[in-house]
Amino acid sequence: MLDILREVAQNPGAMLKKILLGIGIVVLILAGLVALALYHYPKAQIVSASNQAAPDFTLKDAHGQDFTLSSLRGHKTVLFFYRGYW
């Protein structure tokens, strides 16, 4: 401990350089980890079927009634699927 205090007293700029070097190394390591995580993170696989006919299907709606996609033929339709609790 005394050696560190003597070094700081004799050359205060050297200690500042060591601190800044340590901070720089930590920042570089963190940046590398973030880049690695982004590289290995799977890319979004969004497929657009814009202006293409969807296959016909029949599902139950929120009220338990049958819904058939072909009943909307000729109308612009956005399909949005989510898990409901009914």
Angle between helix 12-40 and helix 2-10 axes, rounded to 10 deg: 110
| 32, 38 contact by CB (below 8 A) | no
Note if the pTM is more than 0.75.
no
- Residue ranges of the domains in the chain? 2-40
Could you read off the pLDDT of 2-47 as tens digits, one per residue?
Answer: 676 677 677 777 778 888 899 999 999 999 998 888 777 666 666 7
Residue-level pLDDT at 80: 77
What lies within 8 Å, CB to CB, of 79 at 6+ separation is 54, 69
> What SS3 state is found at 32?
helix
Query: And the tokens for 47?
Result: 């497929």
